[in-house]
Amino acid sequence: MTYLEDLVVGEERQFGRYEVTEEEIMDFARRYDNQPFHTDKEAAKNSMYGGLIASGWHTCAMFMRMACDAQAGQNRMAMMGSPGFDDLKWLRPVRPGDVLSARSKIVSATPSENKPDRGTARVQIWVLNQNGEIVLEMTSMGRFLRRPDETNA
Amino acid sequence: MKYFEDIELGEVWDLGSREVSEAEIVAFATRYDPQPFHIDAAAAETSYFGGLIASGWHTCAIFMGLLADSIKAQKLASLGAPGIDHCRWLVPVRSGDVLRGRTTILELRPSRSKPMGLVTCRTELFNQDGTKVAQLQGVGMYGRRPVAAVAEDTELGVSA
């Protein structure tokens, strides 16, 4: 189990590979972001984006999938969800055929002031395309359990 | 068409509501956030959350779904968004919840280089009990009213 104490501030990781398809871009957007530049190829051509682009929220979702997959083979994280994120920037459009990957860097791991069993980690996230260009960045937060006191275990 | 010039500071948009089903929670998370408390009702029961909850990204997607519908209904000249300043998932979203969105316009800034304006807004999502489940603040890009359209509207006597 990976607890708050096991997180190393400054540690960086690279993970994930996600091929973005036109079908998935349109599927996601029809349900959650129904705007012409996400759902209509012809209209998207005439838009300022010059073609179909993924919803920014779809890019977030694809990042989350890569993050979950990266954890699957590893020590289970003692995670209790996330309180949110800050400074999310969609820096470049994500287009059909793009292949995304992710990088993360642990910024801080701080015990809670009023709940002794847990704490919050802040992690800087970058999502890159196949050309190494950053398409998304944000500071994500995760709520982690602290390592139980061995002497009381 | 409602352009950047037509959006007023302090304006509030009622985004309407959407019901969140267990099937949708599981479908979204199976694809994008396959953690036990999002996809496995039995495992979720014994988790910290005491039952199945929606992925926070799913909550954001539902917010965007509501906003996109509102953009369409208001005929807003939406050009996408550069980012979100902050987002907090305050209370878990569970199956059967009905989420309602409310967006408040906080700041209006014309772009110096492009024919668009940047609109900072805060959106709050409430469940059926009136409890705020999420709050986010971000920026949207909206097209400027074309000069020709202004003239045309004036000639035809069309109000904005």
The reply to whether A80 touches chain B by the CB within 8 Å rule is: yes
Q: Are B76 and B68 in contact (CB under 8 A)?
A: no
Q: Would B73 be classed as within a structural domain?
A: yes
Inter-chain residue contact B56 with A65, CB threshold 8 Å: no
Count Cβ–Cβ pairs < 8 Å, chain A vs chain B: 92
For A27, which residue in chain B has the nearest alpha carbon?
B28
Q: Would B160 be classed as within a structural domain?
A: no
The reply to whether A144 touches chain B by the CB within 8 Å rule is: no
Encode pLDDT of A7-49 as tens digits: 999 999 999 999 999 999 999 999 999 999 999 999 999 999 9
Pure H helices in A33-72? 36-39, 41-45, 56-72
C-alpha separations of B53 from A44, B17, B49, B96, B137 in Å: 34, 18, 7, 11, 23
Q: Would B90 be classed as within a structural domain?
A: yes
> Which run of H or of E encompasses A24?
helix A22-32
**Structural domain total, chain B:** 1
Between residues B159 and A56, the one the model is more confident about:
A56
> Which run of H or of E encompasses B133?
strand B132-143
Compute the distance between CA of residue B69 and CA of residue A35 in angstroms, rounded to an integer: 9
Range of the structural domain that residue B108 is part of: 4-155
Compute the distance between CA of residue B104 and CA of residue A134 in angstroms, rounded to an integer: 30
Inter-chain residue contact A83 with B88, CB threshold 8 Å: yes
The enclosing domain of B38 has a CATH number of 3.10.129.10
- A14 by Cβ neighbours in 10 Å (0-12 / 13-18 / 19+) ranks as exposed
Pure H helices in chain B? 22-32, 36-39, 41-45, 56-73, 147-156
Q: In Å, how far is B102's CA from the nearest CA of chain A?
A: 17
Helix (H, G, I), strand (E, B) or coil at A71: helix
The reply to whether A126 touches chain B by the CB within 8 Å rule is: no
Tens of pLDDT, residue by residue, chain B (160 residues): 999 999 999 999 999 999 999 999 999 999 999 999 999 999 999 988 999 999 999 999 999 999 999 999 999 999 999 999 999 999 999 999 999 999 999 999 999 999 999 999 999 999 999 999 999 999 999 999 998 755 555 555 454 4
Compute the distance between CA of residue B94 and CA of residue B157 in angstroms, rounded to an integer: 49
User: pTM for the full model?
Assistant: 0.93
Domains of chain A: 4-20+54-148 (3.10.129.10)
Provide the ipTM: 0.94
The reply to whether A35 touches chain B by the CB within 8 Å rule is: yes
